[in-house]
Structure 1
Amino acid sequence: MKIRCSTFLNCHLLLFRLYFLSLLVFTFATTPEEDPSVIVSRFQKYLQINTAQPHPNYYEAADFILSQANSLSLHSQTLEFVEGKPTLLLKWPGSNPNLPSILLNSHTDVVPSEPHKWAHPPFDAHLDPNGDIYARGSQDMKCVGMQYLEAIRRLKASGFQPIRTVYLSFVPDEEIGGHDGAEKFADSDIFNKMNVGIVVDEGLASPNENYRVFYAERCPWWLVIKATGAPGHGAKLYDNTAMENLLKSIESVRRFRAAQFDLVKAGLKAEGEVTSVNMVFLKAGTPSPTGFVMNLQPSEAEAGFDIRVPPTADQESLEKRIAEEWAPASRNMTFTFKQKVSVHDKFGKPILTAADSSNPWWTLLEGAVKKANGKLGKPEIFPASTDARYFRKRGLPAIGFSPMANTPILLHDHNEFLNQAEYLKGIDMYESIIKAYASYVEHTRDGASREEL
């Protein structure tokens, strides 16, 4: 009996010690949830840095991002492909560096604003009683850059260790084309050595409960049409004057635009699925000290058009339309492109990312958003341009995603804002996405498809 009693007591004592030890381990292994106001405050500090074009304060933004990286013990590099335009590259090493890595891209610059037309100064990051944070860049796209960092902060606090390496890039100049930022970065030896398998970049806010997600974007064609003709008296009717020929072209462009827009208004196609054309300038006339000479028909006239072409469009057909209908040589017309981005990648394939089960990264994103209690809308083609195009051009999959549901689309608009509750929910989304991506081990470079890599 004594032996059994002693054994019984010893067993209970051992169980009590194990229980107490487990409580200690749990206490030290978990981190209490951080005060949301502190998280929002970090976002506000980033928003308060004036990085508006044409004179963005890149170095102040870089110092802020580097301070956040240091607080998270992330490796950091500052790259300057062009002097005065730093690209920040942060790294969270994975346990298996042979697996293709994950790149989370964002840009640090924002578009200009007209402060007198805002309810609150655009770089005050004012938080109103409804929880709305008013600031230039709150939607486009300082929110996403900070959400990446906050998601990693949470994952590190939870003890998560990535299998794949996670990179974060903060690039300049996206708002003026990205040529000195993402384009040079994507073409660099540094990028080649990163062994990137998937790129995540920006998307758009969604007015409803479904998050918008983008698998491609329209390619910009900036077209200038020029008409020439003999000058003449303003009272005389001439054939083939510069102005008359240009007006014929503008009408032809207008009819094409209306036909494309009708598809959108009828609900047959989304905005990103049609070719949009908008006239952005008209230059003609003979200047005078008081304006223009009114009794002289000019010998030259020009018009500029911002054309956006989806990767699903027939590029050759559009080129033929421009040459034969919009700017025919038979009407003394010529045309040039200030910018013309091909709808094909370097492999000759349409510049888009598979948005179905053939792409494991897409499937992982869907599952991660659902796990975080989010809903994805129908995959879309981004109607404008982002830095993602430079990565897709290399044949890499790139997904555009800015987790802002129940939010009006206000990028580049007056009174741009993001509600703090939506911002915090977005961190949940990225925490789930990064965890899913960084844990994915099924495919490696040797056995993966081109769509994955």
Structure 2
Amino acid sequence: MEFSCTSIVYLHLVSLLLFVASSKIEALDPTLSTPEIISRFQQYLQINTAQPNPQYYEAADFLISQAKSLSLESQTIEFVKGKPLVLLKWPGTNPHLPSILLYSHTDVVPSEDHKWTHHPFSAHIDEKGNIYARGSQDMKCVGMQYLEAIRRLKASGFQPLRTVYLSFAPDEEIGGHDGAEKFYESKLFDDLNVGIVLDEGLASPSENYRAFYAERSPWWLVIKAIGTPGHGARLYDNTAMENLLKSIESIRRFRASQFDMIKVGLKGEGEVISVNMVFLKAGTPSPTGFVMNVQPSEAEAGIDIRVPPTADPESLEKRIAEEWAPIARNMTFSFKQKAPVHDKFGKPMLTKADRSNPWWTLLEDAVHKAGGKLGKPEIFPGATDARYLRRRGLPAIGFSPIANTPLLLHEHDEFLNQDVYLKGIEIYEAIIKAYASFAERGTDKGSRDEL
């Protein structure tokens, strides 16, 4: 493509004007400069909130300091002592309209520090602009992007119509029972009059951002087989190990059938029932390991099952009882965790992801307006704290504005590029502005529940 001299001069002039405008804004408010924005993100990442001993109070102090710098109302609630939830408020001009809740969690998973290129709590930035830290994708980025987007909106003079809340909750990485679960079931939450919640999503390796309208429920299953112990050289019928292996083979075939649907493109990862072995326990211990000439009388297997809201939970339970742990083979089963697939009204726990849901439409349009692309709506393959909200029948959308980035949550060398992080702030600025300006649907509770 060729450009005339006039075109080249024009392009340079436009670039110069944009640079001057940006410089003026930063001069008026230095906190909006890129170095300041990245520095705040690093500070949050450097607070070690890894389970099992997260520095929750240090994180809370940091977040409250950010709230003060933005003139946001703040409070700290401890549903369980030692586990603070930070709640921030940006009041809207019409407090009767259902509010917006921007949710994030403060804890992160543990790290094997010696297996990282850079220490997981150093927030090191390399020459490519990649910020290495535990929580850079899951999900300290999102919490700080909310705050930075609000900083930009406030600097522009924007005033929300709907009240905007931000919550920073503890314990998501260990189930959220002392954080989001208690929060969403509390009178405090009821009083917020929440109409829509944004929670975390996943990084996308492509240019399309990923958005999630549901998630799979975790069923943590333990199968136990019992049999007669005997000499290791003899062949017995129905030994504990033999019966357990028959079950494992049946489980393996079911897993393969679900995985095949993903491989051929019939379903996405979040749309199938995933089944993965997580432990096997059997044998007679000895000082040097296990006794090799004794067949054990008991054997157990642990299985992590994830069930989408589109599945039939009754059929799955029947399969477990009749095929995977039949009493006829001296087998039993129990659940360490069995999260519901349906909400309290008996409906699948999902949020409408089409034009019938104005919150979905607003998000979709805002992403496009900010120069982003949104992929096909998905079911989140894992579990997030949004499940406690959907259990109440309220809408929740999982979204993390991370594109062109490998998915690295819970892995070594988790990182987020600073340009991707900055673009995510622009995306959230557009979404928050659209949500907080939304004036339709009235103020009655019925219209909110309809969503």
TM-score normalized by the length of structure 1:
0.92
The CA RMSD measured in Å over matched residues stands at 1.2
- Please report how far the alpha carbon of residue 445 of structure 1 lies from its aligned counterpart in structure 2 after TM superposition: 3.9
Letter in 2 for 1:184: K
Query: Partner of 1:355 in structure 2?
Result: 353
Contact persistence 2:217–2:308 (CA under 8 A) = yes
Query: Partner of 1:442 in structure 2?
Result: 440
Q: Per-residue CA shift, 1:27-81, capped at 9, x if unaligned?
A: 99x9557211110110000000000011000000000000000001111110000
Query: Partner of 1:76 in structure 2?
Result: 74
Contact persistence 1:353–1:451 (CA under 8 A) = no
Alignment of 1:20-99 (within 5 A): 31=28, 34-99=32-97
Query: Partner of 2:417 in structure 1?
Result: 419
- Please report how far the alpha carbon of residue 342 of structure 1 lies from its aligned counterpart in structure 2 after TM superposition: 1.1
Given candidates 260, 267, 270, the residue that maps to 1:269 is 267
**Greater CA radius of gyration, 1 or 2?**
1
Query: Partner of 2:104 in structure 1?
Result: 106
Identity in percent = 78
Query: Partner of 1:216 in structure 2?
Result: 214
Q: Per-residue CA shift, 1:111-168, capped at 9, x if unaligned?
A: 0111111111110000111110000000000000000000001111111111100000
Q: What is the CA–CA distance in structure 2 between the aligned matches of 1:351 and 1:40, rounded to whole Å?
A: 37
Q: What is the CA–CA distance in structure 2 between the aligned matches of 1:43 and 1:144, rounded to whole Å?
A: 10
Q: Point out where structure 1 has 5 or more consecutive residues left out of the alignment.
A: 1-26
Given candidates 126, 136, 142, the residue that maps to 1:138 is 136
Letter in 1 for 2:68: N
Q: Per-residue CA shift, 1:232-263, capped at 9, x if unaligned?
A: 11111111111100000000000000110011
Query: Partner of 1:378 in structure 2?
Result: 376
- Please report how far the alpha carbon of residue 426 of structure 1 lies from its aligned counterpart in structure 2 after TM superposition: 0.3
Letter in 1 for 2:149: A
Alignment of 1:219-368 (within 5 A): 219-368=217-366
Q: What is the CA–CA distance in structure 1 between the aligned matches of 2:286 and 2:46, rounded to whole Å?
A: 45
Q: The residue matched to 1:85 in structure 2 has which SS?
A: coil
TM-score normalized by the length of structure 2:
0.93
- Please report how far the alpha carbon of residue 449 of structure 1 lies from its aligned counterpart in structure 2 after TM superposition: 5.5
Contact persistence 1:31–1:157 (CA under 8 A) = no
266-275 vs 288-297, which moves further: 288-297
Query: Partner of 1:165 in structure 2?
Result: 163
Query: Partner of 1:13 in structure 2?
Result: none
Contact persistence 2:98–2:448 (CA under 8 A) = no
Q: The residue matched to 2:100 in structure 1 has which SS?
A: strand
Q: What is the CA–CA distance in structure 1 between the aligned matches of 2:291 and 2:442, rounded to whole Å?
A: 69
Q: What is the CA–CA distance in structure 2 between the aligned matches of 1:444 and 1:59, rounded to whole Å?
A: 39
Q: The residue matched to 1:246 in structure 2 has which SS?
A: helix
Letter in 2 for 1:450: D
Letter in 2 for 1:329: I
Q: The residue matched to 2:92 in structure 1 has which SS?
A: coil
Q: The residue matched to 2:246 in structure 1 has which SS?
A: helix
Letter in 2 for 1:195: N
Alignment of 1:190-201 (within 5 A): 190-201=188-199
Q: Per-residue CA shift, 1:192-228, capped at 9, x if unaligned?
A: 1000000000000000110000000000000000000
Contact persistence 2:195–2:448 (CA under 8 A) = no
Contact persistence 1:231–1:241 (CA under 8 A) = yes
Q: What is the CA–CA distance in structure 2 between the aligned matches of 1:160 and 1:191, rounded to whole Å?
A: 26
